[in-house]
Amino acid sequence: MSTTTHLMTAEELIKLPSGRYRYELVKGELLTMSPAGVEHGVVIVNLTTALALHVKNNNLGIVCGAETGFTLERNPDTVLAPDISFIRMERAGIIAKGFHEGPPDLAVEVVSPKESRRKVETKTAQWLQFGARAVWLVNPQTRTVEIWSASREKRVLKEMDVLTGDEIVPSFAVAVSEIFVQN
């Protein structure tokens, strides 16, 4: 006796009711994620605010929040949702009602205390494999930001450093210490 597994599509994923969980899709398989904690949310808002204001004031593109899905592959579908994303103006196009087709230029992942290093690095590799130009891994526990580029170069910034957008988000800069919850 064999069993058949139904692989979900991006179109089916977007129709799921919102509620207690966030979802992503990897090669048609539904992944369920618990809501994040308050510190996680504050870090996302702190960085999103600085990035979004800079992008809007300089007409550089669009910044999307944590619930924004990106369709990265089809048949079977993969849809991932970073905590923060940036798409350059020349790639933004018309704002879609559904998921954005293709990767953002920049994906930002805020590391949860429950996430394993392996899981975080796997997701980072996926973003880069599918065409993101950079991934920022923001870690509230170590108060660091790892910058991974498409060339697989990696830099680690600490609280006394300044996070810049390099060529992806021109002239963006924020003190790493300003991203984290002040105790």
Q: What is the spatial distance between Cα 97 and Cα 75, in angstroms, rounded to a whole number?
A: 21
Q: What is the mean pLDDT of the chain?
A: 91
Q: What is the spatial distance between Cα 81 and Cα 14, in angstroms, rounded to a whole number?
A: 12
Does 4 map to a domain? no
Write the CATH number for 93: 3.90.1570.10
* Integer CA distances (angstroms), 183 to 138, 140, 161, 172, in order: 17, 12, 19, 25
pLDDT category of residue 2 using cuts at 50, 70 and 90: low
Among 5-14, 76-85, 89-98, name the most confident range.
Answer: 76-85
Q: Which two tokens stand for residue 135?
A: 């991934």
Does 124 map to a domain? yes
Does 5 map to a domain? no
Find out whether 173 and 163 touch, Cβ atoms under 8 Å: yes
Q: What is the spatial distance between Cα 56 and Cα 54, in angstroms, rounded to a whole number?
A: 6
| Residues of the domain holding 85 | 37-69+78-178
- Which residues is 129 bridged to in the sheet? none
pLDDT at 5: 66
Does 159 map to a domain? yes
pLDDT category of residue 167 using cuts at 50, 70 and 90: very high
Q: What is the spatial distance between Cα 170 and Cα 74, in angstroms, rounded to a whole number?
A: 32
Does 31 map to a domain? no
Q: What is the spatial distance between Cα 137 and Cα 162, in angstroms, rounded to a whole number?
A: 14
Q: What value does the CA radius of gyration of the chain take, rounded to a whole number of Å?
A: 16
Q: For residue range 136-158, list pLDDT tens digits in order.
A: 999 999 999 999 998 878 999 99
pLDDT at 6: 78
pTM exceeding the 0.85 threshold for the entire prediction: yes
Find out whether 133 and 104 touch, Cβ atoms under 8 Å: no
| Residue, of 64 and 92, whose pLDDT is higher | 64
- Which residues is 136 bridged to in the sheet? 108, 147
| Residue, of 55 and 23, whose pLDDT is higher | 55
Does 107 map to a domain? yes
Collapsed DSSP state (helix, strand, coil) of residue 3: coil
Give yes or no for residue 4 having a pLDDT over 70.
no
The domain total for the chain is 1
Q: Which two tokens stand for residue 152?
A: 């697989």
